[in-house]
């Protein structure tokens, strides 16, 4: 079997074989292979970048190349969805050790493509960069289109608005706990939760739906519900109250693995990131999309800025430098 390393093949040949796994971009007027790609746009485009670092954001013992490609794309697509927009094109820079096998890179490319196909058909990879380093780093830059809509910022929440979530909360954190616990039989039994950590599937197309329904603010929950609620509260100059009774549905989804690990699932729901659920506020007059579950309401500014049943909520969460 021909499974050479990056060092044996060199950058150009390795990049060529990796790119060969990707579908050509429909929105690209000029695709990868030149100094830059040329992408069609109307009036404006959105851009966001996010990086995954080995042993900080993922472990190779847990993630295959496919998983990592999928997750890198999924988490970036969520940033565009959280603006109420549609993802268009992505560029992917990857730093890998020279001893990395080309088959790993090919699987990684397959994961990139699979996440586009599954989560945001029409989005595609138009460029990339491959470099050698000691540690695996994946840096994705994603672009999006508003198609005439206004972007949904973090700063638009107003007192009286309702707070709602689309997607799962705590599922990826539960999967991480299962992986950290390290019992193979549990990991196999609860593969759905483990997969939510390894290959999250945020509801990308619901970002535009929320925008069309009049969402006043939105972000994707990447660092924990409490911490991300605080981001909206701070950016909007408001306070936010959520209710534990409205979180029970999210907790119920985690009950079985939580029992096996003897953990209170609420902790995952409140502080777990990486599901990239969409967290939005809607004016009281809005017809909130059915995919969104109301969990609280926006109050006038006050301290603490985030409340759970009237008490200060846990707004700690994940810091990509400090950890959890």
Among residue numbers 149 through 208, which ones bind a second copy (CB under 8 A)? 151, 153-155
Q: Which of 82, 179, 238, 239 binds a second copy (CB under 8 A)?
A: 82
> Nearest distance from residue 52's CB to a second copy, in Å?
8
Output phi, psi for 173, to 5 deg: -65, -40
Nearer to a second copy, 39 or 253 (CB): 39
Element containing residue 115 per DSSP (H, E): helix 102-119
Q: Pairing mode, if any, of strands 306-308 and 238-242?
A: parallel
> Nearest distance from residue 11's CB to a second copy, in Å?
4
The label of the residue with tokens 């992917």 reads 92
> Nearest distance from residue 92's CB to a second copy, in Å?
8
Instruction: Please name which of 81, 84, 75, 91 lies closest in space to residue 25, comparing C-alpha atoms.
Output: 91
Alpha carbon distances (Å) from 198 to 115, 194, 226, 255: 12, 6, 22, 20
Residues in contact with a second copy, counted by CB under 8 A, come to a total of: 74
Question: How far is Cα 78 from Cα 9, in angstroms, rounded to an integer?
Answer: 34
Residue 14 in contact with a second copy, rule: CB under 8 A: yes
> Nearest distance from residue 290's CB to a second copy, in Å?
23
Nearer to a second copy, 58 or 190 (CB): 58
Please enumerate in sequence order all residues whose Cβ is within 8 A of that of 273, keeping only pairs 6 or more positions apart, or say none.
Answer: 172, 173, 221, 222, 223, 224, 227, 228, 317, 318
Please enumerate in sequence order all residues whose Cβ is within 8 A of that of 87, keeping only pairs 6 or more positions apart, or say none.
Answer: 76, 77, 80, 81, 120, 122, 123, 142, 143, 144, 204
Quote the radius of gyration of the chain (alpha carbons, Å).
Answer: 20
Residue 143 in contact with a second copy, rule: CB under 8 A: yes
Greatest pairwise CA separation for the chain in angstroms: 64
Output phi, psi for 31, to 5 deg: -90, -160
What does the DSSP 8-state code read for residue 96? E
Output phi, psi for 81, to 5 deg: -55, -40
Residue 20 in contact with a second copy, rule: CB under 8 A: no
Residue 105 in contact with a second copy, rule: CB under 8 A: no
Please enumerate in sequence order all residues whose Cβ is within 8 A of that of 59, keeping only pairs 6 or more positions apart, or say none.
Answer: 179
Residue span binding a second copy (CB under 8 A) among the ranges 58-66, 101-109, 185-193, 212-220? 212-220
Residue span binding a second copy (CB under 8 A) among the ranges 11-19, 165-173, 192-200, 259-267? 11-19
Q: Which of 72, 109, 112, 126 binds a second copy (CB under 8 A)?
A: 126
Q: Which of 22, 73, 80, 204 binds a second copy (CB under 8 A)?
A: 80
Cis check: omega of the bond before 304, within 30 degrees of 0: yes
Residue 146 in contact with a second copy, rule: CB under 8 A: yes
Residue 127 in contact with a second copy, rule: CB under 8 A: yes
Nearer to a second copy, 131 or 252 (CB): 131
The label of the residue with tokens 């994946």 reads 138
Q: Which of 64, 101, 114, 137 binds a second copy (CB under 8 A)?
A: 137
Nearer to a second copy, 195 or 320 (CB): 320
| Positions in 29-68 near a second copy (CB under 8 A) | 29-30, 33-57
> Nearest distance from residue 48's CB to a second copy, in Å?
4
> Nearest distance from residue 312's CB to a second copy, in Å?
19
Residue 275 in contact with a second copy, rule: CB under 8 A: no
> Nearest distance from residue 30's CB to a second copy, in Å?
6
Residue span binding a second copy (CB under 8 A) among the ranges 8-16, 63-71, 106-114, 245-253? 8-16
């Amino acid at each position: 079997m021909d499974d050479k390393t990056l060092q044996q093949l060199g950058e150009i040949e390795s990049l060529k074989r990796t790119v060969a796994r990707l579908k050509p971009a429909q929105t690209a007027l000029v695709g990868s292979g030149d100094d830059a790609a040329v992408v069609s746009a109307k009036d404006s485009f959105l851009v966001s970048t996010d990086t995954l670092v080995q042993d900080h954001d993922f472990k190779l013992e847990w993630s295959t190349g496919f998983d990592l490609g999928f997750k890198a794309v999924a988490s970036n697509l969520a940033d565009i969805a959280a603006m109420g927009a549609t993802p268009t094109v992505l560029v992917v820079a990857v730093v890998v050790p020279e001893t990395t096998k080309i088959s790993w890179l090919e699987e990684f490319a397959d994961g990139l493509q699979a996440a586009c196909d599954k989560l945001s058909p029409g989005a595609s990879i138009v460029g990339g960069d491959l470099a050698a380093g000691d540690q695996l780093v994946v840096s994705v830059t994603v672009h999006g289109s508003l198609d005439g809509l206004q972007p949904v910022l973090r700063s638009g929440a107003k007192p009286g608005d309702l707070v709602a979530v689309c997607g799962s909360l705590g599922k990826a954190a539960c999967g991480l706990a299962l992986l950290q616990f390290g019992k193979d039989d549990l990991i196999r039994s609860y593969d759905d939760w483990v997969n939510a950590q390894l290959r999250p599937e945020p509801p990308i197309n619901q970002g535009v739906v929320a925008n069309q329904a009049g969402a006043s603010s939105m972000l994707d929950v990447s660092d924990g519900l409490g911490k991300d609620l605080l981001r909206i509260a701070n950016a909007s100059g408001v306070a936010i109250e959520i209710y534990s009774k409205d979180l029970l549905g999210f907790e119920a989804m985690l009950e079985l693995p939580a029992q096996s690990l003897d953990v209170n699932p609420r902790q995952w729901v409140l502080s777990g990131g990486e599901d990239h659920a969409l967290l939005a506020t809607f004016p009281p007059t809005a017809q909130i999309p059915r995919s969104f579950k109301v969990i609280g309401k926006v109050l006038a500014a006050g301290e603490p800025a985030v409340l759970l049943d009237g008490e200060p909520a846990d707004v700690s969460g994940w810091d990509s430098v400090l950890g959890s």
